[in-house]
Chain A
Amino acid sequence: MTALIKLTIDDLEVEAHAGEMLIKVAQENGVYIPRFCHHDRLKPVGMCRACLVEIEGVRGFPPSCTTPVADGMVVHTQSDAVKKIQEGILELLLVNHPLDCPVCDRGGECPLQDQTVAFGPGESRFVEEKRHYEKPIPLSDLVLLDRERCIQCARCTRFADEIAGDPLITFVERGARTQVLTFPGRPFASYFSGNTVQICPVGALTSKAYRFKARPWDLATVETSCTACAMHCRGALQSSTNRIVRFLGVDSEPVNQGWLCDKGRYGIAYPHSSDRVLSPRVRSGGELEDVSWPEALDAAAGELRKALDLHGPGSVAVLGGARGTDEDAYVWARFVKGVLRTDNVDAQLGDGLPADVVLGLPRAEISDCDTAAAVVLLAPDLREELPVLYLRVRRAAIEHRVPIIDLAPVDHGLSGCSTVALRPVPGEQGAVAERLVAAVASGEATGDRALDDAAALIREREGNIVVVLGRASLAERADVTVRGAASLASLPRARFLSALRRGNVHGALDLGLCPGFLPGRVTLEAGGERFADAWGGVPDERGLDAEGILRAAAAGKVRVLLLIGADPLADFPDRALAAAGLAGAGTVIAVDAFLSESARRAEVFLPCTLWGEKAGSVSNIEGRVQRVGRKIAPEGTAMDEWRVAVELASRLGSDFGLERVDEVTDEISRLAPARQGVTAALLRHARDGAVLPLADHVGEVVWRRSVMTIQAEDGSGASWEPIRVAGEFAGVVDVEHAAAELEDGDDGQVEAGAPHVPSRDQADPHIGLHVWDGAAGVAEAPARDAYALRLVTGRTLYDHGRTVERSAVLTGLTRTPDLLVSETDLARLGVADGESVRVTSSKATITIPVRSAAGVPQGVARLAFGADGARAQELIDASALVTDLRVETVR
Chain B
Amino acid sequence: MTGAPITETRIVTKRLHERPDDSWTIEGALESGAYDALRRVLTRGDPAAVQEQVKLSGLRGRGGAGFPAAQKWSFLPADVYPRYLVVNGDEGEPSTFKDRMLVERDPHQIIEGIAIASYAIGCNKAFIYLRGEFALGYERLSQALADAKSRGFLGENILGSGFALDIVLHRGAGAYICGEETALLESLEGSRGMPRIRPPFPAIAGLYAKPTVINNVETLSTLPHIMAMGGDEYAKLGVNRSTGTRIFSVSGHVNRPGNYEVELGATFRQLIDDLCGGVRGGRKVKFFIPGGASSQWLTGSDEHLDAPLDMDYVQQTFGVMLGSGAVMVFDDTTDPLLVGWRLTKFFAHESCGKCTPCREGSAWIEKICYRISHGYGRPDDFDLLLDVADTVCPGLNAPFSQTTICPLGPSPVSTVASLNKFFRDEVLAACGAVPSTGAGQ
The residue in chain A whose Cβ has the minimal distance to the Cβ of B378 is A127
A89 contacts B by Cβ under 8 Å: yes
**Cβ of B367 and Cβ of A92 under 8 Å apart?**
no
Chain B residues with CB under 8 A of A89:
356-357, 391, 403
A95 CB to nearest chain B CB (Å): 5
Return the 6 tightest CB-CB contacts between A and B, nearest first: A88-B391, A178-B353, A176-B363, A175-B351, A92-B360, A46-B197
Asked whether B350 is an interface residue with its Cβ less than 8 Å from the other chain, the reply is: yes
Secondary structure class of chain B's binding surface, majority of residues: helix
User: Using Cβ atoms and an 8 Å threshold, which residues of chain A touch B197?
Assistant: 44-46, 63, 66
Query: In this assembly, does A183 line the interface, its C-beta being within 8 Å of a C-beta of chain B?
Result: no
Q: Are A61 and B394 interface neighbours, CB within 8 A?
A: yes
Q: Does B360 lie within 8 Å of A95, measured CB to CB?
A: yes
Residues on the A chain within 8 Å of B388, using CB: 88, 92
8 Å CB contacts to A: which residues of B171-215?
A: 175, 177, 192, 197
Q: B294 interface residue, CB < 8 Å from A? A: no
Q: Which of B364, B387, B390, B401 is within 8 Å of A95, CB to CB? A: B364
* Set of chain A residues within 8 Å of B350, measured between Cβ atoms: 174-175
Is the CB–CB distance between A152 and B359 below 8 Å? yes
Instruction: Determine whether the beta carbon of A92 is less than 8 Å from that of B353.
Output: no
Q: Could you say which residues of chain B place their CB within 8 Å of the CB of A85?
A: 391, 394, 403
Count the A-B residue pairs with Cβ separation under 8 angstroms: how many? 96
Point out the residue from A84, A92, A125, A178 that lies within 8 Å of B384, measured CB to CB: A125
Closest residue on chain B to residue A63 by CB atoms? B197
Nearest CB of chain A from residue B40's CB, rounded to whole Å: 41
- Cβ B175 vs Cβ A174 within 8 A: yes
Expressed in whole angstroms, the minimum distance between the Cβ of B365 and any Cβ of chain A is 11
Interface size of B by CB at 8 A reads: 33
- 15 further interface pairs, Cβ-Cβ under 8 Å (given A92-B388, A175-B352): A49-B356, A60-B401, A84-B391, A84-B394, A88-B387, A89-B356, A92-B357, A126-B364, A152-B354, A170-B192, A175-B350, A175-B362, A176-B351, A176-B353, A178-B353
Residue A47 CB within 8 A of the other chain: yes
Q: Are B360 and A46 in contact (CB under 8 A)?
A: no
Which residues of chain B come closer than 8 Å to A391, judged between CB atoms?
Answer: none
Known: A46-B197, A171-B192, A176-B363. A88 touches B357 (CB 8 A): yes
State whether B353 touches A175 (Cβ < 8 A).
yes
For A48, give the chain B residue with the smallest CB separation: B356
Q: Which residues of B contact A128 (CB under 8 A)?
A: 367
Q: List 9 A-B contacts (CB under 8 A).
A: A49-B356, A61-B403, A85-B391, A88-B390, A89-B391, A95-B364, A125-B380, A126-B364, A152-B354
Instruction: Report the separation of the CA atoms of residues A765 and B226 in the bound assembly, to the nearest whole angstrom.
Output: 86
Q: Does A52 contact B (CB under 8 A)?
A: yes
Rounded to whole angstroms, the CA-CA distance of A846 and B348 in the bound complex is 63
Contact with B along A124-151 (1 / 0, CB 8 A): 0110100000000000000000000001
With a CB–CB cut-off of 8 A, which chain B residues contact A152?
353-354, 356, 359
Chain A residue nearest to B368 (CB atoms) is A128
Q: How many Å lie between the Cα of A469 and that of B378 in the bound state?
A: 71
Q: Is A55 an interface residue (CB 8 A)?
A: no
Is B148 part of the binding interface, using a Cβ–Cβ cutoff of 8 Å?
Answer: no
Interchain nearest-CB distance for B172 vs A (Å): 14
Bound-state CA distance A126–B351 (Å) is: 19
Flag B369-390 by CB within 8 Å of A: 1 or 0 each: 0000000000010001001101
Cβ-closest chain A residue relative to B370: A128
A93 to B405: give the CA distance in the assembly, Å.
Answer: 16
| B9 on the A face (CB < 8 A) | no
Q: How many residues of A contact B (CB 8 A)?
A: 35
Contacts of B175 in A (CB 8 A): 174
Is residue A747 within 8 Å, beta carbon to beta carbon, of the partner chain?
A: no
User: C-beta contact mask, A65-89 vs B, less than 8 Å → 1, else 0?
Assistant: 0100000000000000100110011
Give the residue of B192, B349, B367, B384 whose beta carbon is less than 8 angstroms from that of A175.
B349
A52-B403, A66-B197 known; A174 and B352 CB under 8 Å? yes
Asked if B402 lies at the interface with its beta carbon under 8 angstroms from chain A, I say yes
Contact between A47 and B356, CB atoms less than 8 A apart: yes
From B355, B363, B384, B390, A47 is in contact (CB under 8 Å) with B355
B244 within 8 A of A: no
Q: How far is the CA of A46 from the CA of B384 in the complex (A)?
A: 26
Answer yes or no: B25 CB below 8 A from chain A CBs: no
Give the docked Cα–Cα distance between A93 and B358 (Å). 11
Residues of B close to A125: CB separation below 8 A: 380, 384
Q: Are B353 and A93 in contact (CB under 8 A)?
A: no
Q: Is A173 interfacial (CB-CB < 8 Å)?
A: yes
Smallest Cβ distance from A694 to chain B, in angstroms? 44
Q: Is B257 an interface residue (CB 8 A)?
A: no
Q: Is A50 an interface residue (CB 8 A)?
A: yes
Q: Which residues of B contact A415 (CB under 8 A)?
A: none
Does any Cβ of B come within 8 Å of A814's Cβ?
no
Does chain B have a CB within 8 A of A96?
yes
A105-B356 Cα distance, complex, nearest whole Å: 24
Distance of A125 Cα from B388 Cα, bound (Å) = 10
How far, in Å, is B352 (CB) from chain A's closest CB? Answer: 5
| B89 interface residue per 8 A CB criterion | no
A170 and chain B: residue at smallest CB distance: B192
* Bound form: Cα–Cα A49–B350 in Å: 19
| B143 touches A (CB below 8 Å) | no
A182 to chain B, nearest CB (A): 15
CA distance A152 to B404 in the complex (A): 15
The interface residues of chain B lying within 8 Å CB-to-CB of A63 are 197
Question: Chain B: which residue is nearest A172 at the CB level?
Answer: B192
Q: Contact: A96 with B360, CB < 8 Å?
A: yes
B291 at the interface (CB under 8 A from A): no
Q: Which residues of the other chain, A, contact B405 by a CB distance below 8 angstroms?
A: 46-47, 49
What is the chain B residue whose CB lies nearest that of A94? B360
Contacts of A176 in B (CB 8 A): 348, 351, 353, 359-360, 362-363
Closest beta carbon of chain A to B358's beta carbon, Å: 8
Hey, which chain B residues are within 8 Å of A61, CB to CB?
394, 403
Q: Residue B356 contacts which of A44, A92, A171 (CB distance < 8 angstroms)?
A: A92
Q: How many Å lie between the Cα of A66 and that of B197 in the bound state?
A: 8
Most chain B CB atoms below 10 A, which of A66, A88, A151, A178: A88
Taken together as a complex, chains A and B put the C-alpha atoms of A697 and B197 apart, in Å, by: 41
Nearest CB in chain A: distance from B174 CB, A: 11
Chain B's nearest CB lies how many Å from the CB of A46? 4
Mark interface residues in A110-127 (1 if CB within 8 Å of B CB, else 0): 000000000000000110
Kindly name the residue among B394, B402, B404 whose own CB sees the greatest number of chain A CB atoms within 10 A: B394
Tell me the A249-299 residues at the B interface (CB within 8 Å): none
In the complex, per-residue mask of B103-120: 1 if CB is within 8 Å of any chain A CB, else 0 = 000000000000000000
Please give the distance in Å from A761's CB to the nearest CB on chain B: 51
Q: A88: which B residues are within 8 A, CB to CB?
A: 357, 387-388, 390-391, 403
**Which chain B positions have C-beta within 8 A of A96?**
360
For the complex formed, measure the closest distance between the CB of A66 and the CB atoms of chain B, giving whole angstroms: 5
